[in-house]
Structure 1
Amino acid sequence: MSGPVLVTGAAGFIGHATAHRLLERGETVIGVDIVNDYYDPALKEARLSTFNGRREFSFHRADVSDVEAMAALVRDNGVKRVVHLAAQAGVRYSIENPFAYEKSNLAGHLSMMEACRHAEGFEHLVYASSSSVYGEKPMGGEGFTEDEAAMSPVSLYAATKRSCELMSQAYAKLYGFPQTGLRFFTVYGPWGRPDMAYFSFTNKIMKGEPIEVYGEGKMARDFTYIDDIVDGIIGSLDNPPERGVNRVLNIGDSHPVGLMTMIETLEEAIGHKAEKIMRPMQPGDVTATYADVSKLHALTGYKPKVMLKEGLGRFAEWYRDYYNR
């Protein structure tokens, strides 16, 4: 194995899980995260505490948009592979605080590409994109494919993620280092993000509070369990494209589930019924997401294993343990 792997967003949901998987297979991992307060920093700190005692893991509390700090981290540690997952997440928050997305997503991505292009013998940059780049698309028929134009984002968050893909395209052509952008579909599971619907629903159901169901419950999402997502990330990292190529791949479950079905499955996992308040669609949301993962499967053998009932059951068990409910 060629030196340590740098994982940005290591205190985040997906970054935390990815770093652990890399450690489990004998890699040395350098984690980076600013640990901001977009959601409860205590959860991020708790994730980081799971690395205590792992000598192969080191952590740097830093902002990925800090160009000099990122360049030094890559250069001084002989980093040749980067999994760049740090970003300002959330469709709805991008309407309230747009400049957080400009700094974390655009400046942060450019900072990481600059660090990678100056690294000697650099091998592969894997970075997080999003299914939100596809915009609104009628449900039914085929899933979203990477060959679609993806030029009609309906939120600033989506626009920043598509912009990152285009910047990577330019850098791959200009400087030659291989890159892979992963378009994540809805990721869920233990240690997840509290701003996600399944997480906030669980919190309210367990407190006996009503839940707000947007889009009148008619939305559908391609829910993908965290362990399956990490399979795809590691598989992509291990199979870089040719030099000069920025490859974009869907990573999801490819079995979209209606929002009301998800809620029913969650109620079963928790053991309580939810009082539901139906709300209209919110700005920036899309009706459905549906991943065609045939390219990722052909490259890595990727095939999601954890179905929604099992995955939400595991999440509910973790939630009770973590929050002592």
Structure 2
Amino acid sequence: MNTQIILDTYIENIIQIMTPYGTGTGFIIDNLIITNSHVVGGLKEVVVSAKKVKRTIAKVVYDDPYYDLAFIKLESLVKPKTPINLSINPVKDGDTTIAIGHPYGLNYTATEGIVSRASRLQDDLEYIQIDAAINPGNSGGPLLNIDGDVIGVNTFIIQNANNLGFSLPYFYVKEAIDGYLACGNKNIIKCTSCKNLVEEEKIINDYCLECGVKIEVAKLRRKGYKPKGVTKLMEDILSSLDIDVTLARRSQSSWRIDHGTARIDINYYENGIIIGDTKLCAIPSENIEKVYDYLLEENSKLSYLQFSINENSIYLSYLIVDASLTFDEGKIAIQRLLEYSHKYDDILIDEYNAIKQKRDEED
């Protein structure tokens, strides 16, 4: 099969994973979402989405920092029409490979390459060295052969090198899945020292029950992610508006909310500026003056918010310096941004023939 056929055939198996620390990729095997341990970031819950899975919260049930593997469970997971399978055949130098993932948020990107070295030893583990382009966001995604079988999990790259990627081979993945399933329906952590699988609920003070070594990932899972400062204030504001901040969160300082026909992005920048804005419709090719007049007239009526035009897109925005943000004022502003974005998008499209924006799909 060629790359496009493989992507079209197995795309329902590919999962996007989002945490406060970044994004990554996963794929479905035996009702488990397989990904890298570093993608889930030591969290008990992550946000996932896919072609048949709307953005939702899922549980991390297995974390193995040694193999850099993690398994995620989603009770509402829809079985793909064409399931993907682990390979049962040895990988050979020169084999054609296809890496699928979400690099830099570019969803469902497939890149083709070859196996540069079928077995490359790194820190006592074998990896498949490939020249297919993989980037941040690809981590945890499947490496497929030309039959569409998973031969590895794309795990890391060598920085500042041309297409030097490494995938954890399928046989490590099978070993991990078999070990997890043998433990029953429990949350499992693999000790990086003695390599035993430990039930999370039995761990005391983050120490391995078998060898006594402190398990760092157990500590991370116990503490969880807790926003601080202005980030916490912003999430408190969003929560007060009945917004699920876990689902809205795109990073530790970025949130996205879909409301009606509008999409609101809120970003907190390093310079202390907080900008919440909605990219509304695009200006029409005719009667542009009427659109401008309407926007200027509405700008004179608005408080907290303002219209602007960037290239041919109309934006409705809220801007504030972090030192000036208060809960009450922020709540009013964000609430208006949510309500007015949907309202103005409809008015501009229906009454002024503005052009509805196209969005890159998120799932």
Normalised-by-shorter TM-score class: under 0.3
Higher helix share: 1
Q: Which has the higher contact order (CA 8 A, sep 6+)?
A: 1
Greater Cα radius of gyration, structure 1 or 2:
2
Q: Please identify which structure carries the higher strand content.
A: 2
The alignment's TM-score, normalised by the length of structure 2, stands at 0.24
State the TM-score, normalizing by the size of structure 1: 0.26
